[in-house]
Amino acid sequence: MRRFWLLFSVLLAAAWTPAGAKVRLPAVVGDNMVLQQATDVKVWGWAAPGSEVRVAPSWGAAVRTEADAEGRWCTTLRTPAASFEKRTIRIGDGDGEPVVLRNVLIGEVWLCSGQSNMEIPVQGGRDCPIEHSLEIIAESAQYPDVRLFSVKIDGGLTPRETEVLALLAQGRSIPYIRDELIISRETAATHAKHIYAKLGVHSRQELIDLARR
């Protein structure tokens, strides 16, 4: 439950809704999602203020809740044991077409987080090969029901990126930053890439000019 709730918490602002539906949902609540088995999970979204929202899972009884003055609503669903049975959840407030979530699985949900090198795909990247990556990718076809939800990087600089930015603005090289901060070259390069993207610059000189303003 805690792992699932943490995963839910990262995208409160991103809403998903089909055309004509009055109920809106965060992006992490949608088709093809996996719910943690045998526990109480949170499902939430937005609807007309004061409206009654009905959430009907295909595996059990429907539950009802009421949207508050700002249109926010939240309820809890009890999930069954894990299986590969494809489930659905219907969510509506009686006004317009209900939202129907399809191909929902009940299983194990894991939150993966950490340093920037966790973004490296299994296939690896430039100057960063992954041992046995081709075999791992080929074998993944045996597990078609493993689902992945990636959270887009957005927002301000992290504390580590702020450190890297200060060194970049001094004209320091990636190898220097690697040694100074005691991180790998790949991690230093990834931090630099994120800094450029977040600040909207395309060259070291642009970065230095921005830092001097």
Question: Could you read off the pLDDT tens digit of each residue along the chain, which spans 213 residues?
Answer: 444 333 333 333 344 454 445 899 988 999 999 999 999 999 999 999 999 999 999 999 999 999 999 899 999 999 999 999 999 999 999 888 899 999 999 999 999 887 767 778 888 877 778 899 999 999 999 999 999 988 776 668 888 999 999 999 999 999 999 999 999 999 999 999 999 888 888 888 888 877 776
Structure tokens at 28: 């992490």
Burial of residue 145 (CB within 10 Å: 0-12, 13-18, 19+) is: exposed
Residue in 71, 89, 93 with CA at minimum distance from that of residue 21: 93
CA distance 73 to 22: 13
User: Beta strand pairing status for 15-16 and 25-26?
Assistant: antiparallel
pLDDT at 1: 41
Q: Give the pTM.
A: 0.64
pLDDT at 127: 76
Query: Measured between alpha carbons, how far apart are the two ends of the chain, in Å?
Result: 46
pLDDT at 14: 41
pLDDT at 213: 66
Largest CA distance in the chain: 62
- In the numeric block, the tokens 């299983």 are attached to 107
Three-state secondary structure along the chain? CHHHHHHHHCCCCCEECCCCECCEEECCCCCCCEEECCCEEEEEEECCCCCEEEEEECCCCCEEEECCCCCEEEEEEECCCCEEEEEEEEEECCCCECEEEEEEEEECCCCCCCCHHHHCCCCCECCECCCCHHHHHHHHHHCCCCCCCCCCCCCCCCHHHHHHHHHHHCCCCHHHHHHHHCCCHHHHHHHHHHHHHHHCCCCHHHHHHHHHC
pLDDT at 126: 75
pLDDT at 95: 85
- In the numeric block, the tokens 């960063």 are attached to 128
